[in-house]
Amino acid sequence: MSDNIIEIRNVTKTYGAKDAVKNASLNIKRGEFVTLLGPSGCGKTTTLRMIAGFEMPTSGQIIFDGEDITNLPPHLRRVNTVFQKYALFPHLNVFNNIAFGLKMKLIPNGTKRNRKGEEVQLYRKYTKAEIKAKVDAALKMVDLEDYGHRGVSSLSGGQQQRIAIARAIVNEPEVLLLDEPLGALDLKMRKDMQLELMDMHRRLGITFVYVTHDQEEALTMSDKIVVMRDGVIQQIATPETVYDEPANAFVADFIGESNILSGVMLEDYKVEFADTVFECVDKGFKHNEPIDVIIRPEDLKIRKPEDPKTILTAKVVSSVFKGDHYQVTLMAGENELIAHDTATYEEGSTVGLYIKPFDLHIMHKSRIINEIDTEMADENLVWISDGKFECRCPFEAGTPVRVQVDFDDVEITDDEEDGVIGATVVSSIYKGSYYQCIVRTDDYYDFFVDTDDDWLKGDRVGIRIAPEKIIIEKREVTDDAPAETPAAVPDQTVDESAPADAADADAAPEQAETVLTDDKNNDAEVTE
């Protein structure tokens, strides 16, 4: 028997022209606490709803305990779901809320021969005594033994959440799906419920699949974290690995604080950034390959400038007390760095910095230039997305071409009308001396833009490119590879894909919790 209770195989979910989940594959082991983590619109709730059966994949398979359940309706799946808003019945007391599913459920009750001599399965409902025993056990599990007679409206948010969990586990599902169940609670209650859920997971021994956008929550509770972005799984790993060895700049930026700097891999075990050469533990990169360097603030060690271990010096910009540490902002040349230290430092003072080689995390850049396959609109005019950009190219209209534009040659304006085309800012990552934004055109091409300004996700902007900054070369098109349409071709690189907007079912309306029942054929009989 496989250790995996759930296998998601190359699953895609499409809403209209938008992919909420793109070719996702994931194995979940029995008894694991797995968290789907990512920003709003990343596809995590859509993935959960497909496991529950509330959404059907556009393509791919979902396997449960070796059985293909891709098209199985929710009530026949051995899972139960806890929603963020609890979905309790306000007219029923606590006991009857928990008992509701049990009263509806049919359980096997032997077999008999029908008139044709065929053996058929008999079913019955739970007795009142059986229902009471199960409800009492579920209430005890969530530490609310004396609350059965209470109305749900009289309970606190944390108590209502525990009742929702009790209602889910009373049906003895093999997998419990939790869709941001702590989202409506205050900070202290969230912390308390995190511990309760961890304890409950250990006591129940069943598989938990948990959805959240809260990084701390995921790091605290999970056996395994699945980081998602724009419907694409970015990394699957333990909390320790996700934090200490992020797969890419997005994961590093999303999980905790990080210094993310552009650099160059000079050779194996040697990297240059902030105008300084550092030893590292990475190899296998091309000589002089552009890379991103990730440094956690706690790994940036502050020393005296004259200390022999000092690698570079920096000026202290600020030192802010954070309770258990000071957050120290530093300027090393043109690069801003954040360090965590137990001591405070005077603003304007000079300090030395030391970083251990294994604390430098080197990442491949998925893209070092914007590259678009398109065609000429006319002489000295080229189609980019749905706009005609001036260029320095004499090719006639319809000529297939490849356009290249450096990140820092794309200009974005706060007035959409000032640009040739409009776009939406979908991400912004600070790279020490500049911000790297991803702006998405209305036909879903992602431009990478290096800018001095910190743009907010969702900002509408205009895009301009100076004619002399547009590099164009003619593209050869074979008979079996027709020319591209004037619209740009989106980049589908995994690690730098940008968050989707409203395509994800994170924003989809909630459905009522499905009650587990047992499958029965047409010849089955129900006995009381």
Domains in the chain: boundaries: 4-244, 257-364, 370-492
Tokens of 262: 């552009």
Q: Tell me which residue of 26, 27, 30 sits closest to 1, measured CA to CA.
A: 30
The pTM of the full predicted model, rounded to 2 decimals, is 0.76
**Strand order across the 301-303 sheet:** 301-303, 350-354, 312-321, 326-332, 335-341
Measuring CA to CA, which residue among 434, 426, 430 is closest to residue 452?
Answer: 434
pLDDT per 10-residue tile (average), the chain, 528 residues: 90 91 96 94 94 96 96 90 81 91 84 88 90 90 87 85 85 89 76 84 91 92 95 96 91 91 95 95 94 95 95 96 94 95 95 96 90 95 95 94 96 94 93 93 92 92 96 82 47 37 40 35 44
Residue 141 has a CB neighbour count (10 Å cut-off) of 17
Opening angle at CA 406, ends 401 and 407, nearest 5: 125
Same fold, 4-244 and 257-364: no
| Rg of the chain in Å (alpha carbons) | 28
The answer to whether residues 143 and 161 touch, using CB atoms and an 8 Å cutoff, is: no
Architecture of domain 370-492: Beta Barrel (2.40)
* Contact by Cβ (8 Å): 496, 249: yes
- E strands, 134-288, are 175-179, 207-212, 224-229, 232-237, 259-267, 270-273, 276-279
Tell me what pLDDT residue 463 has.
97
Please say whether the structural domain 257-364 has been given the CATH code 2.40.50.140: yes
Smallest Cα–Cα separation from 21: which of 54, 56, 53, 52? 56
DSSP for 399-434, please give it.
-EEEEEE-GGG-EEESSGGGSSEEEEEEEEEE-SSS
Superfamily of structural domain 4-244:
P-loop containing nucleotide triphosphate hydrolases (3.40.50.300)
